[in-house]
Amino acid sequence: MPASLGQLTVADFESRVGMRFRLSGSNPEETLELLKVVATRIQDPVNLPRIPFHLLVRTDPGLIRPQGIYCLDSDDFGPLELFIVPARSDASGRYYCISFN
């Protein structure tokens, strides 16, 4: 894993789609599933240290977290303190977006 959040790239997450991340400091049942990794299309990315991207994650139905900074962890990745923004919800759960600019 890269040493800092600024070094994380799309490649660090693409192989982890489907992985569940624990919300540190919460009950073991509270997890987020990584559903999608999306690179932002940039016309001229030459001067950027990395291509911006975002993650779409989902909680189980009934688990609602407000927008904020949470520590996500898994057995092979993390811990990462990330800013999570609610996006939408449906019968499958609540969806959140995590952006890396």
Q: Structural domain boundaries of the chain?
A: 5-100
Give residue 18's pLDDT. Answer: 96
Rounded to whole angstroms, the Cα distance separating 93 from 58 reads 6
Q: How far is residue 42's CA from residue 38's CA, in Å, rounded to a whole number?
A: 12
Q: What is the pLDDT along the chain (101 residues), one digit of tens a residue?
A: 555 787 888 999 999 999 999 887 666 668 999 999 999 876 666 666 678 899 999 998 888 889 999 999 888 887 899 999 999 999 999 999 999 98
CA 49 – CA 22 distance, rounded (Å): 28
Cβ atoms of residues 34 and 22 within 8 Å? no
